[in-house]
Amino acid sequence: MTTYSTAEAPAKLEEILDKVRDGETIVLFQEGEAVAEIRPVAGGSEEAVLRQLEEEGILSPPGERPMDFVPLAERPGALARFLESRR
């Protein structure tokens, strides 16, 4: 998250909008107090949505190894047995 003062924001509007377009949320401060957020509109560009999901740890960028998988069941066939019991 990037911050700007309300005094500098008008002069840096293009820079701010570029960052928002890239999926960033901008916080504006006035006299040291956060007064506003500028964020992408819902359903922004695909790149911005993917970047946000990566930042939240929901997705991994291509080529990166996902987090280690830890099986929940220790015996093979546990899922099949569970599903069979639900019928």
Residue type, 52: Q
For 82, other C-beta atoms within 10 Å of its C-beta total 10
The segment with the largest mean pLDDT, out of 15-19, 47-51, 60-64, 72-76, is 15-19
Q: Contact, 32 vs 8, CB < 8 A?
A: no
What would be the CATH architecture of the domain defined by 2-85? Answer: 3-Layer(aba) Sandwich (3.40)
**Pick from 15, 11, 59, 58: which is nearest to 38 by CA?**
15
| Per-residue pLDDT tens digits for 6-53 | 999 999 999 999 998 888 899 999 999 999 999 887 766 777 778 878
Q: Tell me, what's the pLDDT at 66?
A: 63
Q: Tell me, what's the pLDDT at 14?
A: 95
